[in-house]
Structure 1
Amino acid sequence: MENKPLHNVVSVRFSKVGKLYHFEADADINLIPGDQVVVETARGWQLGEVAQIIGDVSTPGEGSWKKIDRKATEEDFQQRKTNEEKEAELLEFSRKEIKAQNLDGVKAVSVEFSLDGSRISVLYSYEGENKVELKNLKQEINKFVHHSQVELRQVGPRDVAKIFGGMGACGLPTRCCSKFLTDFSSISIRMAKEQGISLTPTEITGMCGRLRCCLIYEYEMYAENRKQLPKRNKRVLTPVGEGKVFDVLPLKMAVIVDIPEIGRKEFFNSDIQLVDGSSYPQIQPKIRPEENDVVIEVDESNEGENEPESGIKERNQGKNQQGGKGRRPRWRKRRPSNQNKSNDRK
């Protein structure tokens, strides 16, 4: 078996809280987390920060990684500082042009320069439903910045909230997306229902106007715990009697049971037993008669006429112990089917 060549792979991010991209570093470049490096990306040359040293990795299939060009120098840092000043100027110019052209719903969010200034990305958000034409805006931006390739890229409301930062809807001084979230997960209203969170829009909506990202943090644990607990309105046996499940507490692995004449009490899942649709689970009725079983027809109307008084008393006492109805015979004579009745009517 041939040994595949190993590559020294490192993870690089281009913003404070951004996605991690893998690059290959040559053996003569000694890197540690926190170092600034210059790499070539699809958006031109960029200045990034080493976030993680993955180490020697074999090439997966036919894939490969782009190489790190060099460690950042003082000239690179100075160029980056100059680009930041140009980004602020272009952002202000873009906002004025959007206002001058009456582009309703379009907002310039941020501007990104490549390290050499050859490529410029203008990030904008659009809240309208119809498609907006930005051809004239792009032409004006090209006139403002010479000899650079300009790209207008639309971003969603979550990205806008991440770029602007600020206080979260829960009251934290920094939003999760601006603090540690490097990617956005798919959030659904089902996650809020599974965790018993109020569906009031102010309770589940973030500053971006979308469902809060934190709804997914504990969703898997809630879903797994609920599978092991009985659902609401199920009949269960507890150490103090039988009752109905009133509420489920997935975090505590417990349920609240409503027991007649006692009230609502909390029990752990290990202390209860599910009743499968029967009020007396200790009795297991037969589903089909065996060969030796005898079908007995009982006439309840004449029952007790020829029975002595002592027998009647014993039978009544047995009824009171079993709930007042007494125990019925296992099998009765089968009644005529509906087909016979319909034939008689005809």
Structure 2
Amino acid sequence: MKLVYEVWLESGIRMDCLGLENKKLKKNDAVILDFGTYKEYARVVHCRGELPIEADAESMPQILRRATLQDQNKANENHRFNRISGQKAEAIISRSQLDISMVDAHISFDRRRAVVRFLSPKRVDFRQLVRELASSLNMKIEMRQVGVRDVAKMRGGIGTCGRVLCCTSWIHEFQSVNVRMAKEQHLSLKANMISGQCGRLKCCLAFEYEGYQLISKDMPLHGSQIMVRGQEARVLDTTLLNRSVLVRVKQDGRVMNVSREQLDELVDTKESACGDDCSTTDSDKSCSTDDCDSCGD
């Protein structure tokens, strides 16, 4: 019976592959994968179980065997060979005068194929460059254009939270993150506060966004008029996690903090947040559209 295993390739990519149950593979076992035209060295992350009936088995790589001692020695040699080949590729790319910057180059386990990943602000015609690289490295060349978020994922680092970057440690696929998520959580919109090492919005802005949406459903909007203990007031600010509201009483101008349960009724919850008691900050002006997505690659 064939099982689905998640493996981690030497190039830093995690993917699913097929392996026979009788191989009895365990976590961190080194294996050799067959992609048809080339082979790769990888480590097992975990077993997902039996292959689903609807899955396309032909498109998935196969686990040939558990890596032998000779295979592991060859993988170590490939690390050195990969560095030398990467330096050659970078020198050729710099001479090409194309508007691209090489991120890294990965050589397959059998040295039949090289994947060169690069950054570029626009699409580039690199057909001539591929021919030069193939002639110099004596193998098939595949060029892949990546984004700045992919570069951060590959190179790793420590985030402002003090932990390893989420994209490096556990995030497999990037999801869209936009400024609306930061606004919903009442975070500062300063770029250095909500941007990650890649220069785009932090992925973690999306982690609790759905929870904040649920909490804010029955909370009054900024600038809306409400009734507090029988007196009319206007909302100055809300603290979603504490479910409390900062209000200014219209009758005597008092400012006080009250819980959501103490509000008698919401007089006008649809009034714009830019009423008499609120102001627009410079950071809001710089990105005033809720649908602004500043992290697309």
TM-score range normalised by the length of the shorter chain = 0.7 to 0.9
Structure 1 residues 22 and 174: alpha-carbon distance in aligned structure 2, compared to 1, 3 A threshold: closer
Query: Is the contact between residue 17 and residue 181 of structure 1 (CA under 8 Å) also seen in structure 2?
Result: no
Structure having the higher strand fraction is 2
- What TM-score comes out, normalization by structure 2 length? 0.79
Query: Is the contact between residue 17 and residue 182 of structure 1 (CA under 8 Å) also seen in structure 2?
Result: no
Q: What is the CA-CA distance between 1:11 and the residue it aligns to? A: 1.8
Query: Is the contact between residue 167 and residue 175 of structure 1 (CA under 8 Å) also seen in structure 2?
Result: yes
Matched positions, count: 265
Q: Distance in 2 between matches of 1:190 and 1:102?
A: 40
Q: 1:139 aligns with which of 125, 131, 140?
A: 131
Partner of 2:261: 270
Partner of 2:115: 121
Q: What is the CA-CA distance between 1:59 and the residue it aligns to? A: 1.5
Q: 1:172 aligns with which of 162, 180, 195?
A: 162
Query: Is the contact between residue 7 and residue 58 of structure 1 (CA under 8 Å) also seen in structure 2?
Result: no
Q: Distance in 2 between matches of 1:255 and 1:89?
A: 61
**Equivalent residue runs for 1:1-346 within 5 Å:** 7-15=2-10, 18-19=13-14, 21-41=15-35, 44-60=38-54, 63-64=56-57, 66-104=61-99, 106-127=100-121, 129=122, 131-146=123-138, 148-168=139-159, 170=160, 172=162, 174-239=164-229, 241-259=231-249, 260-261=251-252, 263-276=254-267
Q: Distance in 1 between matches of 2:85 and 2:180?
A: 42
Q: What is the CA-CA distance between 1:34 and the residue it aligns to? A: 1.5
Deviations for 1:195-251, whole angstroms, at most 9, x for unmatched residues? 222323333322222222222122111111111212122333334744222111112
**Structure 2: which amino acid aligns with 1:73?**
T
Structure 1 residues 17 and 258: alpha-carbon distance in aligned structure 2, compared to 1, 3 A threshold: farther
Deviations for 1:144-188, whole angstroms, at most 9, x for unmatched residues? 222x211111111111122222343x2636433223322211111
Query: Secondary structure of 2:23's partner?
Result: coil
Partner of 2:271: none
Query: Secondary structure of 1:25's partner?
Result: strand
Q: Distance in 1 between matches of 2:230 and 2:131?
A: 79
Deviations for 1:88-142, whole angstroms, at most 9, x for unmatched residues? 11211122222223223x1111111111111111111113x4x433233222211
Q: Distance in 1 between matches of 2:78 and 2:213?
A: 48
Deviations for 1:250-287, whole angstroms, at most 9, x for unmatched residues? 1222211222436222222222232345xxxxxxxxxx
Q: Distance in 2 between matches of 1:54 and 1:81?
A: 28
Query: Is the contact between residue 6 and residue 45 of structure 2 (CA under 8 Å) also seen in structure 1?
Result: yes
Higher Cα Rg: structure 1 or 2?
Answer: 1
Structure 1 residues 190 and 48: alpha-carbon distance in aligned structure 2, compared to 1, 3 A threshold: same
Q: What is the CA-CA distance between 1:66 and the residue it aligns to? A: 4.5
Unpaired stretches in structure 1, ≥5 consecutive residues: 1-5, 278-346
Q: Distance in 1 between matches of 2:145 and 2:36?
A: 17
- What TM-score comes out, normalization by structure 1 length? 0.69
Higher RCO (CA < 8 A, seq sep 6+): 2
Q: Distance in 1 between matches of 2:136 and 2:72?
A: 24
Q: Distance in 2 between matches of 1:218 and 1:15?
A: 32
Query: Is the contact between residue 91 and residue 108 of structure 1 (CA under 8 Å) also seen in structure 2?
Result: no
Unpaired stretches in structure 2, ≥5 consecutive residues: 269-297
Identity %: 26
